[in-house]
Chains A and B, each alone.
Chain A
Amino acid sequence: MSAETSTHAHHVDTHAHGHDHHDHDHHHEPGFIRKYIFSEDHKTISKQFLITGIFWAIVGGLLSVLFRIQLGYPDADLTWMKPFLGKWISEEGQIVPEFYNALITMHGTILVFFVLTAGLSGTFSNFLIPLMIGARDMASGFLNMLSYWFFFLAGVIMFISFFLATGPASGGWTAYPPLNALHDASQGGVLGVDFWLVSMAVFIVSSLLGSLNYITTIINLRTKGMKMFRMPLPIWAFLLTAVIGVLSFPVLLSAAILLLFDRNLGTSFYLDAINLAGEPLANAGGSPILYQHLFWFLGHPEVYIIILPAMGMVSEILSVHSRKPIFGYTAMIYSLLAITVLSFIVWAHHMFMTGMNPFIGSIFVIFTLIIAVPSAIKVFNWLTTLWRGNIRLNPPMLFAIGFVSLFISGGLTGIFLGNSSIDIRLHDTYFVVAHFHLVMGVAAFFGMFAGVYHWFPKMFGRYMNQTLGYIHFWGTIAAAYLIFFPMHWEIALPRRYYTHSGFEAFSGFEQLNMFISTMAIISFALQLLFVFNFFYSIFFGRKVREMNPYGATTLEWTTPIRPGHGNWEGDIPEVHRWPYDYSKHGRDFIPQTEPLTQYEIEHGEHGDEHDSDIIKSEEHKG
């Protein structure tokens, strides 16, 4: 597919045109509100997403500290929390079961949707797409702004639900009916679930506005010469993430709306033959399993919505700091495409144990294990990118390497889960929890950290404190592994259990749980180090003095150190080559803006012998 389509999309944003975009003293400087609050500048919106994401990450992290205390230190006396948490702490100073369920529900929801979807995609798609493809801003700055404010609103609604007398939703982040369809089956079901559903609906609007904007921008606003196959890998990842989002989030929206109907209008989409504590219900004819199909039709693609941006950024960062082209650029793109397509046909692997026809289960086993192939290709390509590189280990690079390690460790357990027969043993146990936290939770966080440390200089014109970054990295990767690796041993333990103490079969894990909880608390504390470093460095970090501090080839480093609205001061630069010409022809790097020399063959045009000069360099050395 040669992407001639790109070329002249030389869109010039009206209010950016022709002006001098120096730092602060711009004579068209918008007022404070337009600049920092209702801004339409993609860079500001990206920072809004990031900071809101950090807020939610702290909230979600705190919730996990609370329920880990219950799991690891069930006898701890929490009476001192009573002033804040009221009736959610029992007279004996313990977290009450209903609150425990609310904690895990909100933790999952917040981290999956608010932090790793909005916080991650919202931040980096917004920040990097225009800068890397050479556009002055997003296709629609206004929709972009709306996208953020819908996200904000979704957050407000979710936040309010914490203060309901009957508490927030408590039926799991997956919100399965009938538990979540009935008002009387749990306390969170009284009102919390309604807030949860409305918040999710608003969130989906935000996500759709964002995604449509990212897609349009990438398709239409690439600078001259930026063919599709010259785009840096993060852009490919953002594009496909947005495509997945646009195709799958509407399905969740329908699922949520039908659930709202079942809850409040007496419909029976998901309900049949229910007798709740002796009280017969009128609902008939629906199917709880239908909801699960709809949910996971989004739910599985959602995990890739979370991980693809991280994959893209990690590919970029590994390449830049290895001073080597990313290995197998086209394979990387095609594997992303394969993952995108496959992610839509594996959803029922979350439902092997629902009584689904075993034959259908088999089909999903096959697709599920196929998806491991493109994942494996990516891992091997990342490894080969490091091979014979000239690796600088700064915090972003370490986090990128950490990402690869976590993605491997967590991805491999997917191969157990995807095989339905083994999943009989593993379904709804802590093994699954370990799997998805490594492969998605922590890995995506590492991608995000790598991105923040790497592009912070571009975002704020200052550096983050390196030493703190190093401590943050080693502390976090050690804690993450110490939390989630031993968790695989808890294969017998069912998840979402307030306590396992009632069962002989689940005994013997008390010390392990205590260990895990301790590590979780330590790792939470370590993240505050990052938060501090982040905010401190925005104001007091060492100033950036070079335009291109890493020696990177991509366009964002051709903008002024603190780019204004419109990004480039003069014309937008033109692109002449792919973004991974590192250590080529004896040069450390060749920017994308540099025209090909007369005899130079562009990467990917004529097969591998031509563009890989490994052979030449071998001779050179010998």
Chain B
Amino acid sequence: MATGWLIFIAIVLIVVVLFQVTRTLDLVGQLRGGERTTVEMTRFHAMLGLIFIALGMIGFFYSFPLFSDRMVDKHSSNNAIIISKMFLITLWVTGIVFVITNVLLFWFAWQFRHRPGNEAVHFAHSNKLEFIWTIVPTIVLTGLVVFGLQAWTEIMGPAEEDATVVEVTGQQFFWSSRYPGPDGKLGPRDNDLICADNPLGIVTREWVEHRRVTLAGSKKLNHVGEIEVLQNREKEIQELIKQYTAIIDGSPNKYIVAATQDTLALIEKELGKIPGKITIREKALDRINKKYTEEYIAAHADEFTWGYDDPMPSEVHVPVNKQAYLKIMALDVLHNFYIPHMDVKMDAVPGMPTSFKFTPLITTNDKRQELANNPAWSIIEEGDDKPRYAKFNYEVACAELCGTGHSAMKYTLVVDSQEDYDKWIAAQASKWSQVAGSLKLENGFSKYAPVPAPATPMATTTTTPSDTITISLK
């Protein structure tokens, strides 16, 4: 502590001394006459300007190569190649302007500094010059726009017919994915059907039924619906409020009173929200009953089967050299499906499906081989058995602020060779057809969860609706 104070005092003293020095410098300058000081000061700082810009440019050219592979040398997807090219062109154009204008700026400050014998010239404008520097940037920028828009249309244009379709969904704070399955069709989704067992709200006959039961309950299946759970909780809280109030009124211990008041406030808040929650569920149930009538299901019989075979693996796989088409969704707030290596980036917007396409050009395995040549990747880190490159994976991140866990929304992309991919997707399909099968048991209703999950309490959705399915499959 004492040394802390000593250091503090020392710093204060140094600052005071330095300040006195600057004051003296100022005063001396004044005494010696403003003009002479101005000339000297101007010379000194113009010189500093030259040094500054020289060092700055050296720093620029020195540090650029250190990181340039991060900036332009991307080649893992067609997008990356197109964008790297655009980036490089723009880098050259702007780089030249950057160097010339910045150097001129500080050089002029030196060259035309105030000194005896130097006179300013009354040069107020020149149509010719101004014309030149209107027209030249216009032409250059037009060029950039033309190239840029070509690249843009290429990347954002419609997807190919046979592209690999993957649906990805973001929510706080994880990604999930879904594939069309052997029938090649993604089953439709409906937010009203979302529940812990069906986190994406996939529409099939069973899921509709399932949601009816989880909302309204069923005597036959001995299941209490969410609506009833909430109503019970409402009554329970009203009971509790009476008890707590009695404690508060009666207890002589002020700590107990304070603690009880806190709890009371909490449950009162909870109570306030319950009617809203009940209404939302009643309306959802109403919509479900109105929409999914037997006639409706019969009329859309096809669509109702699409969802059966949709695999929902825990990472995204795509085959190499073939276009991948991402359908991007969000359940709660904005997210952004970002694959740094592939130059894939697209917002996930609740209520508004978006899409993005890319063609991966290097498989995960090949990328690992590529990295094996890089010394930084060949090291074996402490506590690891394999070198870094062997563990390399293309990563997916979130690039739109979505709350506390934003920086933790990691997901994995695996680029397979075509054979590997075919194997993988086949395995996924068979896994998930089992799930679908178990779903269809008992005449379209297999308990509540499609897999024997440890009796998930349906009550007040405290658990994250994520992993019921995926985890239990592993």
Contact = CB atoms under 8 A, between A and B. Distances in A.
B8 interface: no
Contacts of B392: 504
B302 interface: no
B280 interface: yes
Contacts of A608: 124-127
B461 A408 contact: no
A288 interface: yes
A308 to B, nearest CB: 19
A97 B63 contact: no
Contacts of B94: 412-413, 415-416
B112 A420 contact: no
A390 interface: yes
B350 interface: yes
A88 interface: no
B393 interface: yes
B404 interface: yes
Given A465-B23, A471-B22, A391 B30 contact: no
A617 B121 contact: yes
Contact of A274 (B137, B151, B276, B331): B331
A330 B120 contact: no
B102 A408 contact: yes
Interface stretch (A44-52, A140-148, A275-283): A275-283
Interface in A369-423: 369-370, 372-373, 376-377, 379-381, 383-384, 386-394, 398, 401, 404-405, 408-409, 412-413, 415-416, 419-422
Contacts of A584: 122
A499 B404 CA distance: 11
A322 to B, nearest CB: 6
Nearest to B118: A390
Nearest to B104: A383
A283 to B, nearest CB: 9
Given A101-B404, A275-B191, A465-B23, A390 B112 contact: yes
B257 interface: no
Contacts, number: 385
A280 B141 contact: no
B121 A425 contact: no
Interface in B77-112: 79, 82-83, 86-87, 90-91, 93-94, 97-98, 101-102, 104-106, 108-109, 112
B70 to A, nearest CB: 5
Interface in B44-93: 45-46, 48-49, 52, 56, 59-60, 63, 66-67, 70-71, 74, 79, 82-83, 86-87, 90-91, 93
Interface residues of B, number: 132
A282 B283 contact: yes
Contacts of A585: 122
Contacts of B106: 401, 405
Contacts of B194: 275, 278, 280
A373 to B, nearest CB: 5
B253 interface: no
A254 interface: no
Given A383-B104, A504-B392, A365 B152 contact: yes
Contacts of A330: 125
Interface string A337-353: 00000000000000001
B334 A288 contact: yes
Contact of A278 (B38, B155, B350, B461): B461
B3 to A, nearest CB: 15
Interface stretch (A53-61, A177-185, A225-233): A177-185
Nearest to B346: A353
Contacts of A216: none
Given A272-B351, A325-B122, A373-B134, A505 B397 contact: yes
A582 B123 contact: no
Contact of B334 (A178, A279, A617): A178
B325 interface: no
Interface stretch (B290-298, B315-323, B405-413, B440-448): B405-413
Interface in A457-476: 465-468, 470-471, 474
A499 B172 CA distance: 17
B344 to A, nearest CB: 8
Contacts of A381: 130
A503 B120 contact: no
Given A280-B191, A617-B122, A401 B109 contact: yes
Interface in A500-553: 500, 502-506, 508, 532, 542
Given A288-B350, A498-B406, A277 B464 contact: yes
Contact of B408 (A393, A401, A409, A502): A502
B207 interface: no
Interface string B454-474: 000000010111000000000
Contacts of B382: none
A328 B55 CA distance: 32
B354 interface: yes
Interface stretch (A115-123, A446-454, A483-491): A483-491
B406 A489 contact: no
B224 interface: no
Contact of B332 (A274, A420, A467, A468): A274
Interface stretch (B176-184, B303-311, B335-343): B335-343
Contacts of B104: 383
B156 A358 contact: yes
Nearest to A280: B280
B132 to A, nearest CB: 9
B122 A361 contact: no
B97 A388 contact: no
Interface string B368-405: 00000000100000000000000111110111111111
B258 interface: no
Given A327-B123, A422-B83, A612-B124, A401 B49 contact: yes
B301 to A, nearest CB: 25
Nearest to A363: B149
Interface of A: 97-98, 101, 171-172, 176-179, 182, 185-187, 271-282, 286-289, 322-331, 353-355, 358, 361-362, 365-366, 369-370, 372-373, 376-377, 379-381, 383-384, 386-394, 398, 401, 404-405, 408-409, 412-413, 415-416, 419-422, 424-425, 427-429, 465-468, 470-471, 474, 477-478, 481, 485-486, 488-492, 494, 496-500, 502-506, 508, 532, 542, 580-585, 603, 607-608, 611-614, 617
Given A289-B352, A612-B124, 11 more contacts: A274-B351, A354-B347, A366-B149, A377-B130, A387-B112, A392-B42, A398-B45, A412-B98, A465-B26, A474-B48, A508-B70
Interface of B: 19, 21-23, 25-27, 29-30, 38, 41-42, 45-46, 48-49, 52, 56, 59-60, 63, 66-67, 70-71, 74, 79, 82-83, 86-87, 90-91, 93-94, 97-98, 101-102, 104-106, 108-109, 112-114, 118-127, 129-130, 133-134, 137-138, 141, 144-145, 148-149, 151-153, 155-157, 171-172, 191-192, 194-196, 201, 276-277, 279-281, 283-284, 328, 331-334, 336, 338, 340-341, 343-347, 349-352, 354-355, 376, 391-395, 397-408, 410, 461, 463-465
Nearest 4 interchain pairs by C-beta: A272-B351, A355-B354, A489-B67, A467-B22
25 contacts: A182-B332, A185-B333, A274-B332, A276-B332, A322-B120, A327-B124, A328-B126, A353-B399, A354-B349, A355-B328, A355-B346, A355-B349, A372-B137, A376-B133, A383-B101, A386-B112, A391-B114, A393-B41, A401-B49, A401-B106, A420-B149, A427-B399, A485-B59, A504-B392, A612-B126
